[in-house]
Amino acid sequence: MTKPIIELSGVEKYYGDYHALRDISLNIAEGEFFSLLGPSGCGKTTLLRAIAGFEDVSAGGLHLGGADMAGVPPNKRPTNMVFQSYAIFPHLNVAENVAFGLRKRGLSAAERDAKVVEALEMVGLGGYGARAAHALSGGQRQRVALARALVLQPKVLLLDEPLSALDKKMREQMQGELRRLQRQVGITFILVTHDQEEALIMSDRIAVMFEGRIAQVAAPQELYRRPKTRQVADFIGVMNFLPAQARVVGDATEVEIAGLGAATLQPDQCPGGPVSGAAQVGIRPELLTLLYDAPAPGMSVAEGEVVEQSYYGDMTYYDVALPGVPEPLTLSMKNTVGRPVLDRGAKAQVAWDARALVLLSD
């Protein structure tokens, strides 16, 4: 990892009796696209606001670019924020909004105007300078907020659920644009979101938070494939859980999974550390396969019955009940040519690779 731009150590935040942030320690690298992901009320926005300087931390250290931020007000911090409501000043036009933060930079009017024009062009709003703030659409307001923050070239750009107010199509478009913009300017972005898909698509790394605590910090692939706890696994995508008995044998772990039989797991399949005794085995829907032909070599097979089917067009999700497995397993299949969509009640063979399993403590 390159030099950290943000260092948090043992950060705590109380609101009266309410413990909003618990022992947050985190380093975020320069130029990283970092996401804080979690359900509402998990403390992710509080953490972002603490970095911006809108909340004092009750304990712990917060360093930005090597400088201690204790007692430094927001206007003296090298961060800029894109607010959830965008906070576009309604009494100023687009160009005046973008120029707002440049007021104290000691620039000539010509330099300032050039920067504003450049920033607006960067976010795709070239020529919108004279537009009144209330005549903008949601997506345009978002872009103005981005331009207003980026024109100051902060060390860190903080984004508080910036896409939650946009409709689905607009949101997907802006996800791509934000990512492109971040690569272009090379500034550290910290994104707060409750949308796991958004976090996976956009981030270099993600911190998953529950109840004021960081549960796991990892790159998207690792987070999805190797969640450390059941809570993380549940929050990111869909995962089937099966009760199992685990036994550590040398480096590997032998598991006896209810209804699926025995399997041997490698150390990287126990992301939360070695587990023995009662445990949970997790497997993602897309890593389970319905057998239409013979199984691929090395795959295990079980026979069951389709109890529920949801057709998504490109994919079909099935819930398949297997004998000895307490809950039906959810699995997804791509709808390719010649592959029939099974109806409820159909007999189905489910196959999986033991390498797809993840062992989590109970």
Partner 1 sequence: MSLRVYAIAYLVFLYAPILLLPLFAFNDSTIIAFPLKGFTFGWFVELWETQALHDAVKNSLTIAVLTAVFSTLLGICAARASAKYQFPFKGAIMGLIMVPLVLPEIIVGVSLLVVVVQILDWNLSMWTVVFAHVLICTPFSIAILNGAFQNMDTSLEEAAQDLGETPLSTFRLVTLPLVAPGIISSLLISFTISLDEFIIAFFLTGSEPTMPVYIWGLLRFPQKLPAVMALGTILVVLSIVLLVVAEYFRRRGLARAGLKDKGGFL
Which residue ranges make up the site for partner 1 (CB under 8 A)?
52, 54, 73-75, 79-81, 83-85, 87, 89-91, 100-101, 103-104, 133-134, 148-149, 152
User: Cα(25)–Cα(9) distance, rounded to whole angstroms?
Assistant: 4
- Please state the closest distance from residue 186 (CB atom) to partner 1, in A: 21
Task: For 6-23, give the DSSP string.
Answer: EEEEEEEEEETTEEEEEE
Contact 241, 281 (CB under 8 A): yes
- Please state the closest distance from residue 183 (CB atom) to partner 1, in A: 24
What are the structure tokens assigned to 181, written together? 């913009």
Number of Cβ within a 10 Å radius of residue 293: 5
Q: Which is nearer to partner 1, 192 or 263 (CB)?
A: 192
- Please state the closest distance from residue 103 (CB atom) to partner 1, in A: 7
Q: Which is nearer to partner 1, 134 or 334 (CB)?
A: 134
User: Cα(156)–Cα(29) distance, rounded to whole angstroms?
Assistant: 10
What are the structure tokens assigned to 183, written together? 């690569």
What are the structure tokens assigned to 80, written together? 């800029």
Q: Which is nearer to partner 1, 51 or 207 (CB)?
A: 51
- Please state the closest distance from residue 121 (CB atom) to partner 1, in A: 20
Residue 76 sits at the vertex; the CA angle it makes with 72 and 77, to the nearest 5 degrees, is: 80
Tell me which residue has tokens 């109840």. Answer: 211
**The dihedral of CA 122, 127, 130, 133: what is its sign?**
negative
Q: Which is nearer to partner 1, 119 or 242 (CB)?
A: 119
Q: Which is nearer to partner 1, 39 or 101 (CB)?
A: 101
* SS3 state at 346: coil
What are the structure tokens assigned to 144, written together? 């103005």
- Please state the closest distance from residue 126 (CB atom) to partner 1, in A: 22
Q: Which is nearer to partner 1, 2 or 75 (CB)?
A: 75
Q: Which is nearer to partner 1, 87 or 201 (CB)?
A: 87
Count the alpha carbons within 13 Å of 361 in the hemisphere toward its beta carbon: 9
- Please state the closest distance from residue 90 (CB atom) to partner 1, in A: 5
- Please state the closest distance from residue 25 (CB atom) to partner 1, in A: 25
Structural Rg of the chain based on CA atoms: 25
Q: Which is nearer to partner 1, 101 or 124 (CB)?
A: 101
* SS3 state at 75: helix
Sheet with 252-257: strands ordered across:
261-265, 252-257, 240-249, 277-283, 358-361
Read off the amino acid at residue 35.
Answer: S
- Please state the closest distance from residue 350 (CB atom) to partner 1, in A: 50
